[in-house]
Structure 1
Amino acid sequence: MTRSDSAPASCPVTDTAAAASGMSRTQTPTGDPAWLATGYHLVRELFTEPNLGRSHPHPETASRMGESAFFGGPVGNFASERADHLRMKSLLQPHFSVRRMREFQPRVEAITARLLDEMQAQGSPADLHTALAVPLPLLVICELLGVPYEDRDSFREWVSAVGNVSDRAKVEWGVAELFEYCRKSVERKRRDPGDDVTSRLCADPELSDQEIATFAMMLLFAGHETSVVHIGVGALMLLGEPALWRRLHENPAQLATATEELLRACEPTDLPRYARTDLELDGVRVAAGDLVLLGLTSANHDPTVFTEPSRVNFDRQEGSHFTFGYGVRYCIGAPLARIELQAAFGQLVSRFPQMRLAVEKETLLMRDEVFTGGLRTLPVCW
C-alpha cells in the first residue's frame, strides 16, 4: 500500500522446479516481447537497479502485460518518476508505519473475530472467500481511510474493473468511478475531518484534492485487493495440507513465521519494469524501453537459497521472500498486510481446528480476469 510495488498471489505453488537464474526472452499474455529475470540474487539486484522503472517515455508503444490500470503497462511520468515515487512514500508511509499498525492491530483482531462469529453462526459449510477473505481487508481499509463500509459493493465492483486484464473500456470506467468516489470523499473530509488517513492527508497544505483522491484511490485498490488474494491462497495452502493446519493450531507461537512462509510459497505475479536506458543485465544487453519482468516466483523458490522450495516449511530460516518487493520498492502496506494475514490464519486455526475443504482442491476456480488472480470461492466445513 501502495501495493503497486508488491505482488499479488495467483495460486499455491506446484512441484515444478524453479527456473535457472538469468535473463531470457519471453512474451507477455498480450503477445508483447519482454525479458524475464529469474533467480533470487538477480531479482534482488534488479529491484535496486536505478535504470529500471515503472514508467516509459512512449507508453502508447510500450510492451504490456494486459489492460489493468496498475500492472498492465507503464505507470507514472517518465521525467519525474523517481521524485514522484519518493514523495508518495514520504507522504503515505507514516500512516502505515509498523508502530501505527501495531496500535491498530487490536481493531483488526476484533474485526476478524466478528466476521468469524457471523460465519460460525450461519453454520457449516461456508464460503471462506466471502465470509472472511473479502470483507476483512475491505473493512480494515475502509476504516483506515474513513470510507463508509456501506459503499463496499460499489467500490468492490470498481476495483475489480480497474484490475481487469483484457477489457480496456471496463478498466477506464472503473478508474473514473473510483476516482470520482474518492474525490467526493476528499470534499467531505475537508468539511468534516475525522481520525483517518484521508483526513490527515487533507491537513497537508501542499496536497491538492486531486492528489489526495489519487492516493485514496490507489490505497482503496491496493489496500484490500491483494490481501483478499493472500488470505484465500494462504488458507487454501493450510487446508490442502491438514498437517500444517494442525501444527499451527498446536503451535500458535509459529504464527508469524508460518505467515512469512505462506507468503513465500505463493506464486506472485511477475513485476513489470521498463529499462530507462540501454543496460547490460546479467551479461545480456537490454535496450532502452524494453520490458523486464522480475520473476518473483522463481526468486521465492530458488533452490540455491531455499531448501526444498516447493515445500511449505514453518521452520524455514533461509532467506527472505520478495512478495512485498525489496529496497526502495518495498511495499509500504506490508505491516498492515501481515497483521491482517496473521489475524485471519491465527483465528481460523484456533477456532476451527477441524476445518477442512468442502470440495476437492482441484475443482476450485481462480479469477483469471483480473491481474491479482486469487480464488473465486473457498468452500469449507467444520
Structure 2
Amino acid sequence: MSNTYYRDQPVSPSFDRAPACPFDPAPEVTALRAEQPIVPLAMPEGAPGVWLVTGYALVRRILADPRFSSRYETQYHPALGGHLPPAPVGDLTGMDAPEHTRFRKMLTGKFTVRRMNLLTERVTEITRERLDAMERQGPPADLVEVFAQPVPALMICELLGVPYEDREQFQGQTRALAEAEEPEAQYAAFIELGEYLRSLGLAKRAQPTDDLLSDLAGSDLTDEELGGVAAFLLGAGLDTTANMLALGTFALLRNPDQLAALRADPGLADGAVEELLRYLTIAGTGLRGVLEDVELDGRLLKAGDTVVIALNAANRDPAKFSDPDLLDLRRSAAGHLAFGHGVHQCLGQQLARVEMRVAFPALLTRFPGLRLAVPAEEVPLRTDPSLIHGVLSLPVTWDRA
C-alpha cells in the first residue's frame, strides 16, 4: 500500500447540471473525471476527508467492497455540513450486513424476474387505462400528472395491496410526494405516506390478502419494521420510475431519430430502457462511509472518510461506453450502474424495467404526433442535486385523431 496520503489539491465542483443539457451530468464533475477518477473535495476545517469518485471502474469497485459502508451515520454529507442520522427502520439503503442481509433475503424472492414479468399484464392494463384518460382529456397535458406518475403509483398499489377504496387518497399522497420541490416538503409527504402504510401493514396482519405487504406481515418482522419496509418500497419504486418515464420521454422528444426508431420497432424496448437508464442516471450520486484505510487508485482513504459516488458520471465514462454522451437505443448498455451494483443493487429493478418496457412503446404508439407543448428550455427541471433528477412537469401535445 502506498504511504502517500493525497490532500494537496481539494476541489469544490458544482453538482448542478447545465440547463442547456438537462440529461447530462454536471459539467464540472465530468471534467474532473477526465482528469482523474478520484479527487479530494474541499471541506471546512475539522471535517473528515471527502472524496469524489467519477470513474466507472472505481465506482463499481466501491459499490462491491464492504469496507465502504452504506450506513448513513458513517457518511459526512458535504452539503449539510455534518454526518447523517441513522437510517429509519426498514430502510435497506442505509444498512450493512448482517442487518441488511436479513431484510434483503426476506425480499429478494418477491422481486424475481419471473414474478415481475407476471405483472406485465397488469402493467399493460394500467398503462392503457392512463392513455385512455389522457386521450379523453385531450391536448395539451402534463405527462407527469396524467401518465408518468400514476402508472408506478397504481402498480405500487397492486404490489402492496392498497385497498381500492383507499387508492384515490393514496394517489393524492403520492402526487404530493412527486410534486414536492424541496427536500423538507418531500420528507413531510413521505412521512404521511409512511404512517398510512404502517396502519395498512397492521391491517394485513389481521386480515391478509394476496399481495406483498400481506406476505411480509406473515414474517417475523416487527410492526415497526413492517411499516418501515413498506415505506422503503414505496420510496424506492415510485419517485424513481415516475421520473424515468417523464425524463425519458423528454429525452426521446429531444432525440427524434431515437424516438422514431423505438416507435417503428417496439421490440427495441428492452435495449431502449437500458440505454435510457444509463444515459439519464436519475439517481446521480450516492455516499459511502470508509470503515478502514483503503488505497484506491493511488489515493489513501482513511477510516472515517466519506466517498461521494457520481453514478451519472460513471455511466458516461468513455472507458466503459463508446460515445457515452450520445443517446443510442441500439447500443448495449449492459453493465450500467443506474440501479447500483453489489449487495445494494436495486431490489425493484425488474418491476421498473417491466413498467418502462410497456409504457414507452405504448405512449409513442397511441400518440404518434406527441411533442412538447412548450420550448424545451421552458420545461421545469428538478434542480436540487440531492433529489432524484427529473422534471416537475412535462407539457405535451399531440394531434387529435
TM-score (norm 1): 0.86
**What is the correspondence of 1:211-250 to structure 2 with a 5 Å cutoff?**
211-250=225-264
- Residue type at the aligned position of 1:352: F
Asked if 1:264 is matched to 2:283, the reply is no
CA contact (8 A) 2:38 2:55 kept: no
Write the distance in 2 (CA, Å) between the matches of 1:159 and 1:129: 9
Asked if 1:13 is matched to 2:24, the reply is yes
CA contact (8 A) 1:246 1:353 kept: no
Cα pair distance change 1:195/1:66, threshold 3 Å: farther
Residues 250-290 of structure 1 show CA distances to partners (whole Å, capped at 9, x for unaligned) of 11111110111111111441111111122222211112222
Which range is displaced more, 218-227 or 277-286? 277-286
What's the offset of the Cα at 1:179? 3.1
- Residue type at the aligned position of 2:59: V
What's the offset of the Cα at 1:155? 4.5
- Residue type at the aligned position of 1:355: L
Write the distance in 1 (CA, Å) between the matches of 2:333 and 2:178: 36
Asked if 1:193 is matched to 2:193, the reply is no
% same residue:
35
**What is the correspondence of 1:282-293 to structure 2 with a 5 Å cutoff?**
282-293=297-308
CA contact (8 A) 1:358 1:379 kept: yes
Asked if 1:119 is matched to 2:130, the reply is no
What's the offset of the Cα at 1:219? 0.9
Write the distance in 1 (CA, Å) between the matches of 2:168 and 2:266: 34
Cα pair distance change 1:373/1:302, threshold 3 Å: closer
- Residue type at the aligned position of 2:56: Y
CA contact (8 A) 2:382 2:389 kept: yes
CA contact (8 A) 1:57 1:289 kept: no
Write the distance in 2 (CA, Å) between the matches of 1:156 and 1:283: 46
What's the offset of the Cα at 1:217? 0.7
Write the distance in 2 (CA, Å) between the matches of 1:305 and 1:349: 30
Residues 279-309 of structure 1 show CA distances to partners (whole Å, capped at 9, x for unaligned) of 2222111122222011112211111221111
RMSD: 2.9
- Residue type at the aligned position of 2:97: R
In structure 1, what is the equivalent of residue 268 of structure 2?
254
Asked if 1:37 is matched to 2:49, the reply is no
Write the distance in 2 (CA, Å) between the matches of 1:242 and 1:125: 19
Residues 23-70 of structure 1 show CA distances to partners (whole Å, capped at 9, x for unaligned) of 112269xxx7621111111111111111101225667xx335559xxx
Write the distance in 1 (CA, Å) between the matches of 2:25 and 2:53: 20
Write the distance in 1 (CA, Å) between the matches of 2:73 and 2:396: 48
Write the distance in 2 (CA, Å) between the matches of 1:294 and 1:203: 37
Instruction: Point out where structure 2 has 5 or more consecutive residues left out of the alignment.
Output: 1-16
Asked if 1:153 is matched to 2:161, the reply is no
Write the distance in 2 (CA, Å) between the matches of 1:311 and 1:219: 32
Q: 2:224 aligns with which of 206, 210, 222?
A: 210
What's the offset of the Cα at 1:320? 2.1
In structure 2, what is the equivalent of residue 52 of structure 1?
68
Cα pair distance change 1:35/1:281, threshold 3 Å: same
- Residue type at the aligned position of 1:300: N
Q: 2:388 aligns with which of 352, 357, 372?
A: 372
TM-score (norm 2): 0.82
Cα pair distance change 1:14/1:75, threshold 3 Å: closer
CA contact (8 A) 1:159 1:178 kept: no
CA contact (8 A) 1:64 1:73 kept: no
What's the offset of the Cα at 1:178? 3.2
Q: 2:328 aligns with which of 313, 316, 320?
A: 313
CA contact (8 A) 1:259 1:338 kept: yes
Which range is displaced more, 319-328 or 16-25? 16-25
CA contact (8 A) 2:372 2:397 kept: yes
In structure 1, what is the equivalent of residue 8 of structure 2?
none
What's the offset of the Cα at 1:117? 0.7
Secondary structure in 2 matching 1:82 = coil
Write the distance in 1 (CA, Å) between the matches of 2:231 and 2:278: 28
- Structure showing greater radius of gyration is 2
What's the offset of the Cα at 1:160? 6.4
CA contact (8 A) 1:300 1:321 kept: yes
Cα pair distance change 1:65/1:202, threshold 3 Å: farther
Q: 1:25 aligns with which of 26, 35, 40?
A: 40
Asked if 1:345 is matched to 2:360, the reply is yes
Instruction: Point out where structure 1 has 5 or more consecutive residues left out of the alignment.
Output: 1-8
Secondary structure in 1 matching 2:304 = coil
Larger RCO (CA within 8 A; separation ≥ 6): 1
In structure 2, what is the equivalent of residue 5 of structure 1?
none
Cα pair distance change 1:72/1:108, threshold 3 Å: farther
Write the distance in 2 (CA, Å) between the matches of 1:340 and 1:72: 33
- Residue type at the aligned position of 2:65: E
What's the offset of the Cα at 1:364? 0.9
Write the distance in 2 (CA, Å) between the matches of 1:256 and 1:297: 20
